Amino acid sequence: MFWDALIRKDEFARYQLSEKIVNFIYPGYIFSEYGRSYLKEKKFKNYYQRFETNNWRSYDRKYFLDQLLKSVVDVSGDTAECGVYMGASSWLICDRIQRGEKTHHIFDSFEGLSQPEDIDGDYWQEGDMSIDIGKVKEILNSFDFVEYHKGWIPERFIDVEDKKFCFVHVDVDLYEPTRDAIEFFYSRLNKNGILLCDDYGFDSCPGATRAMDEFFHNRQEHVINVPTGQAFIIKR
């Protein structure tokens, strides 16, 4: 294996060798199957690197979000994202819906995270991921159907209280704003609409997982936990 990996530079042998090395150094990491084509998609990789140049850690989540969006393009209603940061996931949402009649609503403090509570653990600090709204507007400037609702969740939800939605992305990392976003948007989701919660199942975001589980505990929708660190429901 060493010969094939290091001298012949055989791709699969290199993968196997990497797996062995990682198993030795960090056994908690589980290598997935070799040769998954989505990891080589040039167009998607280029999109990702516009937003993240240091690592590939959220590549799978972004990819999953993009694929899931295909199933709501024909569902009526607008889209919304709670927790936008640089606009990477909003960019994907806008790209998918741009040929429809939908408006994309953006909710963010643009001052970073609110104060984490005990339930959120100690990974996050107040103010993390603060960003200038002007930068986000620049990134999304090719989409003329975006509405910005700057403020602390749920203050600006009132702006869209009469609207219906086909897709809502909740990505605020903490318990309270995740809970408030789910409570507000659930009744405004159209049938077959999707609510996707980011960070579900991550050690760093116990509050996001708890908010989803609590809200859907007695409801007919199933929380579908995907291995990327996301969970979604399809509105019945």
Contact positions toward ligand SAM, by CB under 6 A? Answer: 83-86, 88-89, 108-109, 112-114, 129, 152-153, 171-174, 177
From the CB of 61, what's the least distance to ligand SAM, in Å? 8
Q: Read off the tokens for 127.
A: 């103010």
Q: Which of 60, 173 has the CB closer to ligand SAM? A: 173
> What is the Cβ-side half-sphere exposure of residue 203, based on CA atoms within 13 angstroms?
1
Q: Which of 13, 133 has the CB closer to ligand SAM? A: 133
Looking at beta carbons, which residue is closest to ligand SAM?
83
How far apart CA 195 and CA 235 sit, in angstroms, is 8
From the CB of 166, what's the least distance to ligand SAM, in Å? 18
Q: Which of 5, 180 has the CB closer to ligand SAM? A: 180
How far apart CA 130 and CA 66 sit, in angstroms, is 24
Give the residue ranges of DSSP H helices in 52-174: 59-69, 88-97, 133-139
From the CB of 180, what's the least distance to ligand SAM, in Å? 8
Question: Counting runs of H as helices and runs of E as strands, what totals does the chain give?
Answer: 8, 7
From the CB of 126, what's the least distance to ligand SAM, in Å? 9
From the CB of 169, what's the least distance to ligand SAM, in Å? 7
Q: Which of 75, 140 has the CB closer to ligand SAM? A: 140
> What is each CA distance from 50 to 37, 94, 96, 181, 197, in whole angstroms?
20, 16, 17, 28, 23
Residue 150's φ and ψ, nearest 5 degrees, are: -80, 130
Q: Which of 180, 186 has the CB closer to ligand SAM? A: 180
Q: 3-state class of 117 per DSSP? A: coil
From the CB of 196, what's the least distance to ligand SAM, in Å? 10
Q: Which of 129, 195 has the CB closer to ligand SAM? A: 129
Q: What strands, in cross-sheet order, belong to the sheet with 230-234? A: 146-150, 104-108, 78-82, 165-170, 189-198, 230-234, 224-226
Q: Which of 69, 174 has the CB closer to ligand SAM? A: 174
Bond into 227 cis (ω within 30): no
